Structure 1
């Protein structure tokens, strides 16, 4: 038996380091993933979202109402971005997800405050994501004491000073009991499809290249789009089965409400499945082997999980992170599935997210077909 040789081990070690450096994708993953995780967790992730978009319906134009609005504006939690004219307009804003809060100051607010006659303001919160509204709702507890302290002077301040001048009535819409599973479980539809379809497609296509069966396809008169459709259609069925299974179990095991919105949900699922498969096809045209395909797929999963609003409140992230998250199809699929299941939104209300998913399909599928045609040549 030959003895160990330090020079031979050093030679093997040098060879492995050289191969690692030459594999640019693996080298980029080694450096890129820790950097991306550090930046996302350090800068983008925030479990205490502030400056949440808020709509107000002011039916009392008195000084007290202006003081309440000023107090809300000074708050770190509320950003008054919309002034509604009717209750119907307020309802549409919160239903479409354009605002997190809708605040109504009734027409008799001033009169009731002066008389100490149980004055109230209504705060409607989009509680489909309890983590996004919890801290802001808790901050409303101080509004009755702070909102009017600069305008209640003289005799008005001496009338029953121990009692609050008004009451804040909070209505948690879509998830009144703040059940976390109502937000997380519907989101799993998008995450399961993302994790399985992108990776399954990219690995399946790359495996054919490694085994040489792709060369047989390249020698046939098949067109790139024909190959793409033929290869992806079985996975469309797989995606439909997975989505149906998750939605069914969400209802049976977790009691997630089914508010309706089936048309928007079905259309969104179809676009998202096709988009995910197209992305997997595109990855397979870029990867040289299955390991690279898996690495590239994982590099897509990481921001999809962290920047889409699945685990952390989307509006809690800084603007640059929200901009990046808006590029990801998972973000828009989450809005569609949660909106359909919890709010019952239709195609019209979900149109912005459905349009984004359709655009993603067109762009990614087009690039994938072009890359595959280049491979043919």
Structure 2
């Protein structure tokens, strides 16, 4: 057929494309894997109404009414009662370290004051640096209090059922009392920006050198793999510093995001995070065959960094397996560091757990990247 459309030519091109797709197995695998990963993450891991938020209790009264209130909080599924604490300093420390989303304080002589009709107050303190994590639980408090009253009234205080609530609840939101979403999103955005740029730029730059043949020239020199890796990474560390400086200027001038913590701890965490992302980019470059694959691998890693790090959705509200995966992502720990520093006034001792995690991830990624690079040399 020699007209405008030839079935033979069409079939030839079609077969050629399928053969090319079969040869580029990594791209084909990502085309299949990416929708599956998205489906699993959005279907199982993402929760816009988080439950089982870590909650600490300061029990200054252990009577039946107090126990009924704690039981009602636990039964609501919003609060995961973990351990008792004592004193306001312990609550503040738990918030700074990220060990608790809520702290419930039941005052002394609580049951006695309920029976007398003095309407005592229960204090519920919330880490409002992430308004999404606390909004649903705070909104459900009125129903939880009614449930606690229903559990406690059959007994010595049953005659109070006809009157007003025998006790009240005071909610104190720490770090972001106005619930401004920008204060939560903007600090975390720095982690996502650095991840996206550092990983992708490093991976593409090294793969481009391989495609142009300049990497083979470098391999022919006496330069060792560790020296090549350090030389490729360090220039982009300076680029990361420039990005961070611009970010803070814009965050302060346009969004008025505070910076209440210590600068020293933040700089250490920033260096660790930049280096681990550059090492990831170096690792991806040893796997990718071309620049397109390097870009695809970078995007494939960025997606779980956005969804499982606590950037958009509360980390504590995700299922256990998703939290385990999120703990292995560098952005998770840097987001905690930057939010602690900017919003909670955290200092270096408060940041150690996440810095240790970043150091461990960096050591593993660097070792694997050097191993893969040696294989490339061979």
Counterpart Cα distance in 2 of 1:265 and 1:217: 35
Q: Secondary structure at the match of 1:149?
A: helix
Cα offsets for 1:318-349 (capped at 9, x unmatched):
11111111110111111001111110112211
Residue 170 of structure 2 aligns with which residue?
Answer: 169
- For the 8 Å contact 2:204–2:285, the answer to whether it is kept is yes
Counterpart Cα distance in 2 of 1:28 and 1:166: 59
Residue 69 of structure 1 aligns with which residue?
Answer: 70
Offset of residue 178 of structure 1: 0.4
Residue 106 of structure 1 aligns with which residue?
Answer: 107
Offset of residue 150 of structure 1: 3.2
- For the 8 Å contact 1:201–1:280, the answer to whether it is kept is yes
Residue 208 of structure 1 aligns with which residue?
Answer: 209
Deviates more, 1:127-136 or 1:58-67: 58-67
Counterpart Cα distance in 2 of 1:150 and 1:213: 75
Say whether residues 1:263 and 2:268 are aligned partners: no
Say whether residues 1:310 and 2:322 are aligned partners: no
Offset of residue 142 of structure 1: 2.3
Cα offsets for 1:26-75 (capped at 9, x unmatched):
11111111111111111111100011111000011222111111111211
Q: 1:91 to 1:3 in 2, by over 3 A?
A: closer
Deviates more, 1:250-259 or 1:1-10: 1-10
Unaligned residue ranges in structure 1 (runs of 5+): none
- For the 8 Å contact 2:128–2:173, the answer to whether it is kept is yes
TM-score, with length taken from structure 2: 0.96
- For the 8 Å contact 1:103–1:123, the answer to whether it is kept is yes
Deviates more, 1:107-116 or 1:226-235: 107-116
- For the 8 Å contact 1:57–1:87, the answer to whether it is kept is no
- For the 8 Å contact 2:126–2:134, the answer to whether it is kept is yes
Offset of residue 251 of structure 1: 1.5
Residue 132 of structure 1 aligns with which residue?
Answer: 133
Offset of residue 159 of structure 1: 4.9
Offset of residue 171 of structure 1: 0.4
Offset of residue 261 of structure 1: 2.8
Residue 321 of structure 2 aligns with which residue?
Answer: 320
Residue 60 of structure 1 aligns with which residue?
Answer: 61
- For the 8 Å contact 1:58–1:104, the answer to whether it is kept is yes
Say whether residues 1:47 and 2:48 are aligned partners: yes
Offset of residue 263 of structure 1: 2.1
Counterpart Cα distance in 2 of 1:157 and 1:205: 74
Residue 345 of structure 1 aligns with which residue?
Answer: 346
Counterpart Cα distance in 2 of 1:160 and 1:150: 11
Which 4+ residue blocks in structure 1 deviate beyond 2 angstroms? 1-5, 85-91, 142-146, 148-162
- For the 8 Å contact 2:72–2:145, the answer to whether it is kept is no
Q: Map of 1:1-377 to 2, 5 A cutoff?
A: 4-153=5-154, 156-159=157-160, 161-377=162-378
Counterpart Cα distance in 2 of 1:161 and 1:119: 18
- For the 8 Å contact 2:50–2:316, the answer to whether it is kept is yes
- For the 8 Å contact 2:76–2:144, the answer to whether it is kept is no
- For the 8 Å contact 2:259–2:342, the answer to whether it is kept is yes
Offset of residue 99 of structure 1: 1.2
What is the root-mean-square deviation in Å for CA atoms of aligned residues?
A: 1.6
- For the 8 Å contact 2:160–2:166, the answer to whether it is kept is no
- For the 8 Å contact 1:271–1:361, the answer to whether it is kept is yes
Deviates more, 1:114-123 or 1:265-274: 114-123
Offset of residue 359 of structure 1: 0.8
- For the 8 Å contact 2:57–2:84, the answer to whether it is kept is yes
- For the 8 Å contact 1:144–1:165, the answer to whether it is kept is no
Q: Secondary structure at the match of 1:137?
A: helix
Counterpart Cα distance in 2 of 1:120 and 1:131: 25
- For the 8 Å contact 1:188–1:246, the answer to whether it is kept is no
Offset of residue 216 of structure 1: 1.1
